[in-house]
Chain A
Amino acid sequence: MAGADVDVGTELRLGLPGGGAEAAKAAKRGYEDTIDLKLTLPTGGVQKDSGKPEPAAEKAAADPEKPPAPKAQAVGWPPVRSYRRNAMTVQSVKIKKEEEAEKEQPAATAGGNGSAFVKVSMDGAPYLRKVDLKMYNTYKDLSIALQKMFSTFSATGNEGKMVEAVNGSDVVTTYEDKDGDWMLVGDVPWEMFVASCKRLRIMKSSEAIGLAPRAKDKYKNKS
């Protein structure tokens, strides 16, 4: 790996010291702040923070159906602090989601970015929490996580829906989607939910009456 650097590096050119070496450096990041790397690469590019060597060239060759991997990003370039990168990531994901919504390709957005942090508010709780929807694969997983977070929950009810009990009264989980509508959680396929959810709110089921039409109906009309 480092040996390759020498051979490539002694060539006289103004270009990169070596695309392969750069990519390998990027691939080998075992550092904590890997979130920015995953997000800055377009699909098909180098990712993986497993710590194992995985040069981009090999990856591209192994997967001939994908278009050739674009130029690998250099670590720490442009020089923006990780703190700022992480904060901006949330923002630009939001903007991309809003852009993608027009093209109706939520899956592409969801696949291309590393995290989907949304705020979760629960009526009566002293403060908001945040969850990364990408950490979960099903509504059940999310329900369990929310349960832990707001520990007065007890999950009951059928698969996909989250009906919790707080002090004896029923609560439901709702979410604000990219159109600004408040929908009940659990009606649309998980991936579609992750792509369109901007914010979660856990409210008393009595207040949930009169919410926007069920998601099923909404999306049925669109397709």
Chain B
Amino acid sequence: MSTPRSSSSSPDPIPNPSVTLAGSPGMRDAEEGPDSPPSRMSEDGNGGAWTPDLRCGRWAPPDQVLEIVLESVLEFLTAARDRNAASLVCRSWYRAEAQTRRELFIGNCYAVSPRRAVERFGGVRAVVLKGKPRFADFSLVPQGWGAYFSTWVAALGPAYPCLERIFLKRMTVSDDELALIPKSFPLFKELSLVCCDGFSTRGLATIAEGCRHLRVLDLTEDYFHEDENQVVDWISKFPECNTMLESLVFDCVGVPFNFEALEALVARSPALRQLRVNDHVSIEQLRRLMARAPHITHLGTGSFHSEPGSGGASSVSELATSFAATRSLVCLSGFLDFNAEYLPAIYPVCVNLTSLNFSFASLTAEELIPVICHCISLRIFWVLDTVGDEGLQAVAETCSDLRELRVFPLDATEDSEGSVSDIGLQAISEGCRKLESILYFCQRMTNAAVIAMSENCPDLVVFRLCIMGRHRPDRITGEPMDEGFGAIVMNCKKLTRLSVSGLLTDKAFAYIGKYGKLIKTLSVAFAGNSDMSLQHVFEGCIRLQKLEVRDSPFGDKGLLSGMNYFYNMRFFWMNSCRLTVKGCRDLAQQMPNLVVEVMKDHPDEEGEIDTVDKLYLYRSLAGPRNDAPSFVNIL
């Protein structure tokens, strides 16, 4: 088994059972020493003189001095990659690193058992957990697959009473588990849930009520299926006194809430800098919130729709006055059900905006242009394709500092019209030379435009192009899109994330393997001719961590060509290709530390079927999980 390459994504990829802390007396053992004023630590033991452990206030044996020094130094190492490297030096460093790691990053919640993680790392203050594979976002992972927070919170609770931050992505979290957070972690400060499910306003209420030191509550694109009649008024549950809230994001919590309670909460949260509300907030209500939070920097505007109510409708100039008074605004989002006539109200803040998200507002080019021409400082821009190539040209003309662009489709179907094309992409590449990240949905594309982008935007780190019609060639030449993507991997030397689409042959993957040396994440759909494509990728992309493939003509041979590389990857997902159970089983038998999950599309089907609908494999120290549902077969 090969040593893992440097990766920032896993805490402990070496399953080396000899590195255990078998009975070594640590400094934290209760050793009652005499109380003496702490003196400067000496470098070595001084032949028996004990030196104080400044953290615990106890005296430490001389051979432990090095570890104390080491721990003090390692505190400064924050990047997981650096820490992983440090932990490999020797046992002493391993122990010191384990005690000083403050953030526990688990890129795959099934890669290691909670118990093991908790046993190794003693002083964790923040936990990042990622669960389901990304294709779960597109309904490709059946409900009930797994990624339950329950097993983790049960272990984290007793082990880390000082835990302050929890970040979960694609995990299933129940209200009862949310309720455990204030109980287990009295100092809790930050909760961030992204693309999670399983909870409701009842759970949010327990967080609001119980976490007295809460600074951040961010709910981003979580799935809420709550019956409106069972909604709990969670906003009212925040403590009555001034709060420490810095960030409150709940635009995905699509149920109504008590606005007066929110207004009062904002008024008593002097540190609040980020507020993103849901679409139940009207323009009139938004103005009231802005009046209470004049120092806000990140604002999600809710519906951006006028709802007159008893006070009458706000005029555009009144709204503009509200924006003008919010001088620190740098990030604007929301516009979830917007009235276009109110857009001019944001002109006063446009010049300072670094981030603008219009991706839920079906703006036309005519509506966008007068806004975007003010946004000279823009770095991040998300928009719908309704603005068309013309709108994108306007962006290219003004936003020369743009780093990230995302163009989403209003109509996300294969046969839709598609309003942006290679013309828009070309314009962006010419105007936004500092671009680092792009996500672009379209129906018509040319190799020339993609090549132009590869040449004009050499700083690209993320290139995700989605030509929505399957197997679409270059719209002008009729050729496959091989040359375009080839140019991207060749010219964009910092590229770490790539998503391909359109008509692609094995040649495209040969390019990717040859030039994509830094690629960590690769997404493939409806592409390639044969298993050679996969082989090119496995052999060439030496930094590959995450590979997702769907609906491509790859079979067992392609799968097995990755055998020598799977331990260096976080996961490999493949659905609707040509795998057989036998092929997957062969692989599983040869790789004991790989968990190979095979799933059926039709859970209720009986009997042995030889083809595999979905394959999900990942390295793991924990072995096969015991919470897999019946439609998952672990080989």
Contacts and interface: CB of A to CB of B under 8 A. Distances in A.
A101 B226 CA distance: 33
Contacts of B503: 14
B466 A79 contact: yes
A149 B228 contact: yes
Interface string B107-141: 00000000000000000000000000001011110
B602 A1 contact: yes
Interface stretch (A104-112, A121-129, A153-161): A121-129
A92 B609 contact: no
Contacts of A16: 470, 526, 551
Contacts of B468: 77-78
Contacts of A44: none
B410 A121 contact: no
A164 B142 CA distance: 44
Contact of A126 (B142, B258, B415, B523): B258
B411 A17 contact: no
Interface in A20-64: 25, 28-33, 36, 40, 51, 53
B408 interface: yes
A87 interface: yes
Interface in B432-461: 441
A77 B138 contact: yes
B139 A31 contact: yes
A29 B138 CA distance: 12
Given A127-B258, A127-B259, A31 B138 contact: no
Contacts, number: 153
Given A15-B471, A79-B466, A126 B413 contact: no
B18 to A, nearest CB: 44
Contacts of B362: 91-92, 95
A78 B414 contact: yes
A62 B282 CA distance: 49
A77 B470 contact: yes
A70 B413 CA distance: 13
Contacts of A123: 309-310
A5 to B, nearest CB: 5
A5 B310 CA distance: 61
Contact of A80 (B412, B529, B578): B412
A76 to B, nearest CB: 3
B611 A88 contact: no
B470 A74 contact: yes
Interface string B529-543: 100000000000000
A14 B410 contact: no
Contact of A53 (B282, B471, B602): B602
Interface in A113-150: 121, 123-124, 126-130, 148-149
Contact of A78 (B466, B553, B613): B466
Nearest to A83: B221
B152 interface: no
Contact of A121 (B137, B307, B414): B307
Contacts of A148: 229
B627 interface: no
**B: contact size bracket:** 35 or more
A208 interface: no
Given A14-B471, A76-B140, A81-B195, A2 B602 contact: yes
A28 B609 contact: no
Contacts of B602: 1-2, 28, 53
Nearest to A130: B228
Q: Is the interface of A mostly helix, strand, loop or mixed?
A: loop
B221 A17 contact: no
A31 B143 contact: yes
Interface string A81-96: 1111101101110010
B43 interface: no
A40 B413 contact: yes
A192 interface: no
Interface centre among A2, A15, A51 (most CB of B within 10 A): A2
B142 A1 contact: no
B360 interface: yes
B95 interface: no
Nearest to A10: B578
Given A16-B470, A77-B525, A2 B613 contact: yes
Interface string B502-517: 0100000000000000
A78 B409 contact: yes
A196 to B, nearest CB: 18
B438 to A, nearest CB: 15
Nearest to A88: B410
Contacts of A29: 139
A92 B578 contact: no
A9 interface: yes
A75 interface: yes
Nearest to B442: A78
B259 A126 contact: yes
Interface in B362-392: 362, 384
B225 interface: yes
Contacts of B307: 121, 128
Given A70-B415, A91-B360, A149 B260 contact: no
Contact of B408 (A28, A75, A80, A121): A80
A6 B336 CA distance: 44
A80 B139 CA distance: 10
A84 B605 CA distance: 32
A168 interface: no
B413 A78 contact: yes
B311 to A, nearest CB: 12
B441 A78 contact: yes
Interface string B244-276: 000000001000111110000000000000000
A178 B578 CA distance: 49
Interface in B386-433: 408-415
A2 B611 CA distance: 7
Contacts of A51: 604
Contacts of B613: 2
A3 B605 CA distance: 12
A33 B137 CA distance: 10
Nearest to A74: B551
Nearest to B464: A79
A32 B412 contact: no
B326 interface: no
Contacts of A121: 307, 309
B280 interface: yes
A79 B611 contact: no
A200 to B, nearest CB: 12
Contacts of A17: 551, 553, 576, 578
18 contacts: A3-B609, A6-B610, A10-B578, A30-B603, A32-B143, A77-B551, A78-B409, A80-B409, A81-B221, A83-B222, A83-B252, A87-B336, A87-B360, A88-B360, A95-B362, A124-B310, A126-B259, A127-B280
The 4 tightest CB contacts between A and B, nearest first, are A76-B138, A80-B412, A127-B256, A40-B413
Interface of A: 1-3, 5-6, 9-10, 14-17, 25, 28-33, 36, 40, 51, 53, 70-71, 73-85, 87-88, 90-92, 95, 121, 123-124, 126-130, 148-149
Interface of B: 135, 137-140, 142-143, 195, 221-223, 225, 228-229, 252, 256-260, 280, 282, 307, 309-310, 336-337, 359-360, 362, 384, 408-415, 441, 466, 468, 470-471, 503, 523, 525-526, 529, 550-551, 553, 576, 578, 600-605, 609-611, 613
Given A16-B551, A82-B223, A149-B228, 14 more contacts: A2-B609, A3-B611, A6-B610, A9-B553, A32-B225, A73-B413, A74-B551, A77-B414, A77-B551, A83-B221, A84-B360, A91-B337, A126-B258, A129-B228
